[in-house]
A and B are shown apart, each in its own frame.
Chain A
Amino acid sequence: MSISKIYLSDIRVRAERVKDKKAAIGPDIDLSRYSEHIERGRIENLEGLSRQAKEAAVMAGIDVKEEVRSGSYIQVDHSVVYERINKAYEGKLEIMSTTEALSKYDWLEEYYWRVIPVDQDKYTAQAELNMTHGYFIRVFPHQKPEYPVQACLLVAGNYISQNVHNIIIVEEGAELQVITGCTLAKRDAEGVHIGISEFFVKKGGKLFFTMIHSWADNFHVRPRTGAIVEEDGAFFSNYVLLKPVKSLQMFPAAYLKGDRSSAKFNTILYGLKDSYIDVGSRIVLEGEDTRGESTARAIAADESVIYSRGDLIAKTRGYCLAHLDCRGILFSNKAKIYAIPQLVSDGAIKAELSHEASIGPIAEEQVEYLMSRGISREDAVSVITSGFLNLDIPFIPEFLDRNIKEVIKATAKEAL
């Protein structure tokens, strides 16, 4: 049974009201430029993707052989082209498009637009008024699939606005790893990707979420992400951007509602060409004995601009502990980094919040130290940069890992 028409009607009205409302931060996008609608046919397996699409998917962390994945969800432009659960995990989790889930489960009303306000800005409005699927992933109580679920949101066409709404539910005592790759099949594509992601981690559950973005020079991106974490639950988020983007603005938030819940954000930003990147993370500590940690590493090369934000907001009357670590390196005298950490204690008299933020070059002393071990200057800078970015992310395919290091090596060389 689908969710109630009254609820849907109400959120649509709210969306209509803000369809021209600019976002609080980030450059404004004229969404009317991106009105093409492109449907794609289904595929039997991931080898069925076009060569370009397959290469792009791999670069966004997708394992096309699906050997070390518990399931897959692939969307190209405005169509869901593939969804599958590996046999070993059937009955442990479910994967489908959010559109299908909304028509199947009336209880989804308790989750749909419950973390992100539909009337936040024109992008949330667009995602509701012109929704083009997105994934729904639910892991059943106490199930802990060994391998991650992978989701790929691919744009192959031009002048489209891909408006997805993703929902992940980790039921009580369950654990789930998700790798999402969002990317373009054509490097010269022009368009916009709007991604609403609402995550729910139930009592004692754990969600390890990795998002790899691989965009290009003429593409705008506006994700809106929020997670609600119940008691003893944990939310881990890795975000990686290593390709140019026209503009990207997002500020994902984790709401630690339950006592003893925790959240950890690890953000890696590599600004190339004239990318405009405004990325933050927000942890709201509402339960007692909650813990938060946010780490951001930004490298700005070429003429890129990076805003690296972080908010820690304590609201609990009990104890809570959170730390923000935000560091940047500039590789070019035409690039810019803004590091903006913010700590807020809202009546939380026992809260311990701290932050460290720094922007500086790679220490010459470190480079010379590695050179004295017989490592060339170029390799030393590359190794230190990789270490700085903290790229040790589980389940990233080796090919992607190698490519990331090549990008670093090429850019680091230019910076010398």
Chain B
Amino acid sequence: MQEMLRVEDLWVSVDERQILKGVNLSINYGEVLVLFGPNGAGKTSFIMTLMGFPKYAVEQGRIYFKGEDITNKDVYERAQLGMGVSFQRPPTVRGVTLRKIIEIISDGRINKEGFVEYAERLNLSGHLDRGLNDGFSGGEIKRSELLQLMVQRPDMVLIDEPESGVDLENITLVGEAINMLLGKDKVKDPKRSAIIITHTGYILDYVNADKGYIIFEGKLICGGNPRDILSEIKRHGYRGCAECR
């Protein structure tokens, strides 16, 4: 299988604090990877670095996407190349409606009926004319993020903690939405890849992941079958996993 993303010896700091300490990773086209890790391990920092947010300073290492070195490209350029992110806590943009953003993102690729149908499937029709994330509940934020990504259609999807702040009823909907986004509700989209960050592992009940990793104290440890890894974490805890490596 062809490689979509390669990360080589990535060292990242935020506000002078070392967060990632030499991460190496490779993801092929169509592969879905789940990243486990305790709070503060560097999970969010990792995907925000992949997306190119300037707050995350790359001190060492390279990031290659579809064969191109993107280490010095900005967020917009990476999105244009086919990367997209679902935020855990996106900012509120008052006065700019969800509908407006979807229209801009779609750039004519999807007609109005198309995205209204997506919105209906995600139970977000009533939110299209509200300010972006303005007063949205946890579940609504996740669904809104996924709706935007459905319209954006990135090749590499980065999803930060899809289950956090979401009630049980909404987790099903969020899980279905991720499957829809990854094309897994139909025949698998051979091109779209994903990195999904999870703290609890609940999302594995809904999404079929190919690989799992634990990120601990800024380093990737314990790669393998995601369900096996989740069992190990449940049995030994993150520190136990780190020590047995």
Query: A residues within 8 Å of B by Cβ?
Result: 363, 365-366, 368-377, 379, 383-384, 386-390
Interface centre among A373, A374, A375, A389 (most CB of B within 10 A): A374
Listed stretches B36-44, B83-91, B112-120, B186-194; interface member: B83-91
Residues B90 and A373 in contact, CB atoms below 8 Å apart: no
Scan residues 7-56 of chain B and give those whose CB is less than 8 A from a CB of chain A.
51, 53-54
Known interface pairs A370-B101, A390-B95; A377-B76 also in contact (CB < 8 Å): yes
Is B198 part of the contact surface with A, judged by Cβ < 8 Å?
Answer: no
Residues A375 and B91 in contact, CB atoms below 8 Å apart: no
Residues B95 and A375 in contact, CB atoms below 8 Å apart: no
Residues B91 and A372 in contact, CB atoms below 8 Å apart: no
Chain A residues with CB under 8 Å of B85's CB are: 372
Query: B residues within 8 Å of A by Cβ?
Result: 51, 53-54, 74-76, 78-80, 84-85, 87, 90-91, 93-97, 100-101, 104-105, 107, 131, 148, 152
Known interface pairs A373-B101, A373-B152, A383-B100; A388-B95 also in contact (CB < 8 Å): yes
Chain A residues with CB under 8 Å of B104's CB are: 373, 375, 379, 383
Residues B93 and A374 in contact, CB atoms below 8 Å apart: no
Known interface pairs A383-B100, A387-B131; A372-B75 also in contact (CB < 8 Å): yes
Residues A370 and B93 in contact, CB atoms below 8 Å apart: yes
CB pairs A–B below 8 angstroms (13 shown): A363-B91, A368-B53, A372-B53, A372-B75, A372-B76, A373-B105, A375-B104, A377-B76, A383-B101, A383-B104, A384-B95, A386-B96, A387-B93
Residues A373 and B79 in contact, CB atoms below 8 Å apart: yes
Cross-chain pair count, CB within 8 angstroms:
66
Residues A368 and B90 in contact, CB atoms below 8 Å apart: no
Residues B76 and A374 in contact, CB atoms below 8 Å apart: yes
- Interface majority SS on B: helix, strand, loop or mixed? mixed
Known interface pairs A375-B104, A383-B96, A383-B100; A369-B51 also in contact (CB < 8 Å): no
A363 to chain B, nearest CB (A): 6
Q: Cα distance A383–B93 when bound, in Å? A: 10
A328 to chain B, nearest CB (A): 14
Chain B residues with CB under 8 Å of A373's CB are: 79, 84, 101, 104-105, 148, 152
Residues A371 and B87 in contact, CB atoms below 8 Å apart: no
Q: Cα distance A375–B101 when bound, in Å? A: 9
